[in-house]
Structure 1
Amino acid sequence: MNGGRLVIRSGSVDISVVDRGGDGPLLVLLHGLAGSARELFPTADALTDAFRVVVVDQRGHGHSTRRPEQLSRAAFVNDIVQVITQFSPDRAATLIGQSMGAHTAFLTAAARPDLVERLVMLEGHVSGSDQPDETARLGAFFDSWPVTFADPEEARSFLGESVLTEAWISDLEPTSEGLRRRFDADVMQRTIEAVHEPRWAEWEALTVPTLAVFAENGMFSAEQKAELIRRRPRTLRADIRDASHDAHLDGFDGWIGVLRDHLVNGRER
Structure 2
Amino acid sequence: MRRASYREAVEFVRRELVVADGTTVSYAVSDGAGPSVVILHGLAGSGREFAPTAGALRGRRVILIDQRGHGHSTRRPHDTSREAFASDVAAVISAESTTPVDLVGQSLGAHTAMLVAAWHPRLVRRLVLLESDAGGGTPESIAAMGEYFRSWPIPFADRAAAVDALGDEPLARAWVADLEERADGLHPRFDPDVMVATMGHVVTPRWDDWSQVAAPTLVVYADNGMFIEEQKAAFVAGNGNATRIDLAGASHDAHLDAFDAWVAALTSFLK
TM range (shorter): over 0.9
3-state SS of paired residue (2:71): coil
- In structure 1, distance between residues paired with 2:125 and 2:68: 23
Residues 23 and 48, structure 1, Cα contact 8 Å, conserved in 2: no
Q: How does 1:1-269 map to 2 (within 5 A)?
A: 3-11=12-20, 12-49=22-59, 51-88=60-97, 90-129=98-137, 131-264=138-271
3-state SS of paired residue (2:121): coil
For normalisation by structure 2, the TM-score amounts to 0.93
- Displacement after TM superposition at 1:3 (Å): 4.2
For normalisation by structure 1, the TM-score amounts to 0.94
- Displacement after TM superposition at 1:218 (Å): 0.6
- In structure 2, distance between residues paired with 1:105 and 1:248: 16
Residues 21 and 54, structure 1, Cα contact 8 Å, conserved in 2: no
Q: Which residue of 1 aligns with 2:6?
A: none
Q: Deviations over 1:145-193 (max 9, x none)?
A: 1221001111111112210000000000011100111110000000011
3-state SS of paired residue (1:146): coil
- In structure 2, distance between residues paired with 1:163 and 1:3: 23
Residues 21 and 48, structure 1, Cα contact 8 Å, conserved in 2: no
Instruction: Kindly provide the amino acid, as one letter, of the partner of residue 182 in structure 1.
Output: R
> Percent identity among equivalent residues?
48
- Displacement after TM superposition at 1:22 (Å): 1.1
Instruction: Kindly provide the amino acid, as one letter, of the partner of residue 30 in structure 1.
Output: L
Number of equivalent positions: 261
Instruction: Kindly provide the amino acid, as one letter, of the partner of residue 34 in structure 2.
Output: G
Q: Deviations over 1:91-121 (max 9, x none)?
A: 1111000000000000000000011111100
| Unmatched segments (≥5 aa) in structure 2 | 2-10
Residues 128 and 199, structure 1, Cα contact 8 Å, conserved in 2: no
**CA distance change for structure 1 residues 162 and 113 in 2, over 3 Å: closer, same or farther?**
same
- In structure 2, distance between residues paired with 1:3 and 1:251: 24
